[in-house]
Structure formats: C-alpha cells, structure tokens
A and B are shown apart, each in its own frame.
Chain A
Amino acid sequence: MPNLGNKNILTDNKFYDYLNERLKLDALVDYMSKKNVPQHSHSMFYYFGGLTLFFFIVQACTGILLLMYYRPGADSAYESVKFIVSEVSFGWLIRSIHSWSANLMILSAFLHMFTVFFTKAYRKPRELTWLTGVGVLGLAMGFGFSGYLLPWNELAFFATRVGTGMAGAVPVIGDYLLVVMRGGEEVTGATIGRFFGLHVAILPALFIGLISLHLIFVQRLGMSEPLHWNQKPPQEKSYMKFFPNFIYRDALIWLIMLNVLALLAVFFPDGIGVIHWPLGEKADPFGAPPAVIRPEWYFMFAFQALKMLPAHIWFIEGELVGMGLFTAGGLMWALIPFIDRKSAMNKPSRWIMWFGIFVVLFIITMTLIGYLVE
C-alpha cells in the first residue's frame, strides 16, 4: 500500500480492500494522488472541461431514457415525442433536461475551448489534447444538428432543410453530399432515420472514443500552467492535489449544475428566449415555412454570416465563398498549436491573441445580428 496523504478517504474501508485485491487500485490511486493542479487567478477555467463531461453524461443518461419511447419515422417521431412529454411519467422532465443539458454542454465546451486558447494551454506538449478537444466540440455540434430534426416538428423540418441545403452548395460533391445527408433529394422520413442513427449510434461512438483520448491526454500531461509561471520561482507556485481536492471541487460544481438543470427543466421545460424547443406543430413538407427559420444558437453566427454574403463574390457563389472561409478558418483554429510556434517556446504571440479576439467578436456580433436584426 503506497503512502497516501489522503489514505483514510478511500482506502480505509473493507469495500476498497475487496476491490483493490481484484483490480489493483492502489497504483491508480497513487498515480492520481501525485497529480497536482496549478492554483492561480484563472484556476476556475480548469473546471469547464469537467463540466462539459458532466453535461455529456447527463445527455447520455437522458438520451437512453428517451430512446425507450422515441420512434424514428415521419409517421411516428412527432407522435412519440408528444407521447413522451404528455403521457410518460417524468417524460417532460427527461426531454427538458436532455435539451437544456445539450445547450449547456455546447456552451461549456465553447467556454472551455476559448479559455484553453487564451491561456495557450494548447502549447507543446498538449497539441493532441487540443486537436481531440476541437474534435469533441465538432461532434457535440453534430449531436445538436442531428437531434434538432428528431421531434419532426415544423421548425425542425424547415431548419434542417435549410441546414442540409447548405451542403448542396459544396463544389463537385455537393449534390451527392445532400442526398447522403437527407437520404434522398428532400428532407423526409428517410432523413429522420439517418439523423437518428447518427445521433444515437455513430456520434456517441466517435464521441466516447475521442473524449476518452482527450481525458487520457489530460491525465498523462496534467493541467497546463499559465505562461507567466515560467518566470516564477518554484516556491511561489501553488498547487492543489488532483485527488481528492480537485475532484471534490469538480463534484461540487457538478452538484450545483445538477440543481441548476433541475430548476431550468421545471421552470422552463420548453426553454427560454431564443433557446427553446416547444414541440409545436407536426412537420408538414407541403405546408408554408414559418416566418422565421433560425438554427440553434451555436450555429447562428455561421448562418447569419452566410446570409449576409452577396449572391456572388466575383464569379463565385457567395455561399460557397463563405463556406470556404469557414472551412479555412476552422482548419486554422484546429491547427493553432502548430501555427503558434512562439507558444511552444512559452512566449506570447500578439497575432494569435488578436486572431482569437477576432473570432470571439465575430461569433458574438454575428449571433447578436442574427437574433436582433430583422
């Protein structure tokens, strides 16, 4: 038995001894108790990653419960969701928590990503941690996009038609891509089948794989220290133990957020303001589209930017130029650890900082225009 500072917390009981004999947990506990988390004025940023994980766990649990009643298909999707929220005991609560948790997961993931970016926590040797993190965010947005259609209500139908229609603008493979996404030329019951498969099987498998890698990298490399700590003498640096101190704090935040989720789900079961998911009317492919078709809030900046582009820029379609710029920007963002060479030498880069500020301002401005300007 290793000499653990907090041995009494976990290891002083028979149940632990029972498990330890069979799973050799001492080595793991020893490893965790030796891990330290830097303590400084921005330490709170370290909790966003864990928070995102918490929301994902909530998503998985509530998603599995919804799966018991949800029936994909043009004739059954809307009816089954309606049944869940009106007939199934606590069905309304499960759907509401699933929806709230989805939005908070994306928000938390965005905050986590930007704090990592601005504290340059992506720098060597954490390039792969950053890459897997960007991948996880992309998959989370994929969850949002695919899940939006599943209730098969009016807004979801038309928003998905617009969203998948953008894929058709991709040069050369656009038409093929559109058919693959929709399962045909139009958004139909076949599209629900595809999005359902994506939402409950393909994306979760990829997500769990990628987030596992992300967590392994975090565990192997530990928490990144701020840049300015390089000049600090060791005696001025402060740390807390990952286990149990950091883990306990993480758990405390998870409990608080569980309370927040419960409050939101009970008081605002259909969302609030622009973040809302009322079931509304069943999708009618032949009906008139709603007056305002808006995507989820985290797609709004891209949607608005593409909408504001002129029909043609020089001789190329405006939408195509926009999508090209977004692809280039996204690639640049994902490869930032390799572009920001100064960070590898623990030096700040003014240009990278300005790029990050530009991206944040762009997202905020476009989102606000999307919601506030008619």
Chain B
Amino acid sequence: MKNIFILILIGLLNCSMALATNSKNCLECHAEWEEEDGPTHLFSKDIHFQKGLGCVECHGGDTEAEDMDGVRSAKNYRGVPKFNEVPNFCARCHSDATYMRQHNPSLPVDQLSKYKTSVHGQRLSKHKDKKVATCISCHTVHQIGDGKLPHSSTHPLNVPETCGKCHSNKDYMAEYGIATNQLDDFKASVHGHALLVNKDLGAPACNDCHSNHGAAPPGVDNLALVCGNCHAIESELFLKSPHMKAYAENDFPMCATCHSNHRIEHPSDKMIGSTEPGICADCHDHDDGTRGSQTADSVRNAINALVAAHEAALTVLKDAQAKGMMTTNEEFLLKEVDQSLIQTRTHIHSFDASVVVPKAEEGIAKADSVKVKSAELIDEYYFRRKGLGGATLVITFLAILLYLRIRRIEKPKG
C-alpha cells in the first residue's frame, strides 16, 4: 500500500516536473533509489522548482539519456559540487544579474562577493575549513524556501535557530574558541522576545546586526553605527557624547558596554546612577564624587522626578475618569508627557545632564498641567452635584407649591 502511494506520488511529481522542466528522466531513477527525505522528494517544496527550474539547471546532464553514463557524458554535466565549490556553484546563477532578472529581478546578486568577506567565506578560502557555513548550510540543499515565507529556514522567525544550529553546538564550535550561548542569550533578550514571542518582524534577528551573506561580528568601533541602524537618535547622541572618546580609548564595546550584546535586556531607569543597581557605578564610583557620578545622579534624579510627576498626574486623571468626566484633552496631554519621558530616556545617551534635565523638566511641567486640569475636572464634578442639588431644591419647591395649589382649588367647599 505504501509503495503504491509512493508510486502515485512520484507519478504526480513526474507530471508536474515534466510540465515545468525536462527533469522527468532524473526522477525516474532517483525517486526509486532515494529515501523519503531524498532530494527528489524534497524538491517539490523548493523555490527553484516552484519557479520552474529542474535538476539540470543546477546539476546539468543530458535529460534524454537512457542511463547514468549517458547523463554524465553530456558536456554541461556538473553533478554534485564538492563542499568548497558550493558558493560558486550557486553563484553561477545568483551572481548573474541578467539571468536572475528573468526569475526574480528584486533579488540581489552580490551574495558571493559578500560571502567572500564573511568569516565563513574567509575560513573556507584561506583555511579550507570544511565546517564553515556555505549557502546550503543556511538555505538547505533541495528545500530552499523563499525567505519571506514562514516555513523557510531564512525567514526572520527561523534565522536564530538556523544560525544556532552550528553556533550553539558546543562540540561543533569547540575548535573556534567562541561562545556558544548566543542563541540562548538572544532568546532571553528584548530583541529575541519581540521577534520570537511577539512575532514582531521589525525586531532584529542575527543577520540584522551581523549581516547575512557577509556574516561577521560587528567591530567594536562600529557597534554604535550598527545599533544606530534602528536606534538612530541614541546612536547620534552617543557618538557626540564624552563616552565615545573614552570607550574608544579603552576598547570598550560601545553600546554593548552597558547593554550587553546578545542578552540585551529591556532598559530600565534603575540602570542609571552612580549607586547600585545603577550600572554607571561600574565606572563612576559614587564616593569619588567625580563629574561622571554627579551627571549620573543628576540624570537619575531628573528621570525619577518625571516618572513621579507622570504617576501623580495619571492618578488624578484616573480619578476624574472614574467620576465620569470627559478627559480626552487631558489624556492627549498625558501622551505628550509619555513622549517627554521617552525623549528624556533617549537623551540619556548624551551623558550630559544639561541636555537631559531640561527635557525632564519640560515633561514635569506638562505632567503638572495634566494634574491641575484633571483636578479642575474633579472640582467640576462636585460643582455639578451641588448645582444639581440647588436646581432640584428649586424645582421641588415649585412642585410642592403647585401641589398645594391643586389641593386648595380641589378642596371641597364648605
């Protein structure tokens, strides 16, 4: 029964492949020889097959030949590439802009040149290292998927696992002397949470910082620029800050000095300050009373004051809301306070109290305004009730007078 099913499957595959390409002959033999996870069985899910390409486009050979000798005798026969030949094997088409334009004009054609600059490519060419990643390590061999589709190994949601397949394997990576906790760290990071838990495709995967085909660790000096691709304002402020020079002189890994690299935690206000748990204390000891520790404390105090003002405003606003008052204007203003808080936190990267404190004060003034306006609404709430009480008394008094009048005119005479 199983065999019949396989034969039917092969028959269907033959028919569909025959329509797209002239690979029918390859399948007639290979499908019978191979296991169920062999190339001919996997290939139907491959992007190349879906684009109408068959076996001969990569492997060459005479498709009309009666046997394997006939296939191999063809001039264009390329067979299976050796490990170190894979990049050039794929690049035969993928670096050919004219050819690629016919199938996918939007796909870049610089993968091979980028690969040559990568650590993987360098090790392959210089050290003939057969353990480094080539095209097929990440893209698979016969099941290459469109990176935009969720089942593809290069879809953003799958990239961490794809890289982690080698980089989190201690035995495999032992000889390179690099850490293997990147995947675990990434999963625990704010980026990993956003990408893998929240499925936020805007969050970075490995390739967004390390590049994909040109994969390499971003240099220490360039880290602020790499992070700045997304965190542009923070990066710009940092590059102009006194920390930039100090970090460069001391070979500190720029952003990663405070935020770490793969295990980047959600930043919190507690990170600021020259006393525990502030991480500024790592370099600027509070007891020294240096300019650095004073700046850290000033910034921390300013942010604390803004957060407190925000909370106070929110408490009064919620009270007004609970009383049924219309608070849309105050809610809108509170959003501006939120914005001030974000801006103040962003400007921490200037490491300059004269920049951060005014930002915080601006937000505090807005928060105070929300608090005052919300308090006015609460006053209005009580005024309405008092007004209602007064109006009700007057109307009730009139109603009683009218009732007495009716009683009087309807009182039986005599």
Q: A residues engaging B (CB < 8 A)?
A: 6, 9, 82, 85-86, 92-93, 240, 244-245, 248-249, 251-252, 255-256, 258-259, 262-263, 266, 268-270, 279
Contacts and interface: CB of A to CB of B under 8 A. Distances in A.
A252 B392 contact: no
B409 A245 contact: yes
Contacts, number: 49
A262 B393 CA distance: 12
Interface in B355-414: 384-385, 387-388, 391-392, 395-396, 398-399, 402-403, 405-406, 409-410
A266 B385 contact: yes
Given A244-B409, A249-B406, A252-B402, 9 more contacts: A6-B409, A82-B328, A86-B329, A252-B399, A252-B406, A255-B399, A256-B399, A262-B395, A266-B384
Nearest to A241: B409
Contacts of A255: 395, 398-399, 402
Contact of B391 (A6, A85, A92, A262): A262
7 contacts: A245-B410, A248-B405, A255-B399, A262-B392, A263-B392, A266-B384, A279-B328
A86 B396 contact: no
Contact of A259 (B396, B402, B409): B396
A259 B395 contact: yes
A245 B406 contact: yes
A268 B385 CA distance: 12
B326 A248 contact: no
Contacts of A259: 392, 395-396, 399
Contacts of B329: 86
Nearest to B330: A86
B291 to A, nearest CB: 48
Given A245-B406, A252-B403, A252-B406, A279 B326 contact: yes
- Pairs of residues from A and B, 10 with the lowest C-beta to C-beta distance, nearest first: A255-B399, A266-B388, A259-B395, A252-B402, A248-B406, A86-B326, A266-B384, A85-B326, A262-B391, A258-B395
Contacts of A85: 326
From DSSP, what is the main secondary structure of chain B's interface residues?
helix
B108 interface: no
Contacts of A258: 395
A269 B328 CA distance: 15
A9 B409 CA distance: 10
A146 B396 CA distance: 34
A249 to B, nearest CB: 6
Nearest to B381: A266
A284 B387 CA distance: 37
Contacts of B399: 252, 255-256, 259
Count class of interface residues, chain B: 20 to 34
B324 interface: yes
Contact of A251 (B324, B387, B396, B402): B402
Interface string B295-331: 0000000000000000000000000000010101100
B7 to A, nearest CB: 47
Given A248-B406, A255-B402, A263 B328 contact: no
Contacts of B402: 248, 251-252, 255
Contacts of A268: 324
B289 to A, nearest CB: 51
Contacts of B392: 259, 262-263
B388 A263 contact: yes
A22 to B, nearest CB: 27
A279 B391 CA distance: 26
Among A85, A258, A268: residue with most chain B CB under 10 A: A258
A20 B223 CA distance: 96
Nearest to B387: A266
A27 B111 CA distance: 104
B326 A92 contact: yes
Contacts of B391: 262
A262 B326 contact: no
B408 to A, nearest CB: 10
Contacts of B396: 259
Contacts of A244: 409
A276 to B, nearest CB: 12
A16 to B, nearest CB: 17
Contacts of A248: 402, 405-406, 409
Contacts of B328: 82, 86, 279
Contacts of A6: 409
Nearest to B399: A255
A50 B395 CA distance: 18
Contacts of B326: 85-86, 92, 279
Nearest to A248: B406
A267 to B, nearest CB: 8
B322 to A, nearest CB: 14
A269 B325 CA distance: 9
A278 B349 CA distance: 43
Nearest to B391: A262
Nearest to B377: A86
Nearest to A278: B326
Contacts of B405: 248
Contacts of B385: 266
A269 B324 contact: yes
Contacts of B387: 266
A86 B387 CA distance: 18
Among A9, A92, A249, A266: residue with most chain B CB under 10 A: A266
Nearest to A258: B395
B210 to A, nearest CB: 39
A270 B395 CA distance: 23
A249 B385 CA distance: 28
A270 B327 CA distance: 13
Contacts of A92: 326
B190 to A, nearest CB: 30
Contacts of A249: 406
A263 to B, nearest CB: 7
A245 to B, nearest CB: 6
A340 B296 CA distance: 90
Contacts of B406: 245, 248-249, 252
Interface string B319-345: 000001010110000000000000000
A320 B406 CA distance: 54
A269 to B, nearest CB: 6
Contacts of B403: 252
B409 A262 contact: no
Nearest to B385: A266
A188 B385 CA distance: 39
Contacts of A263: 388, 392
Contacts of B409: 6, 9, 244-245, 248
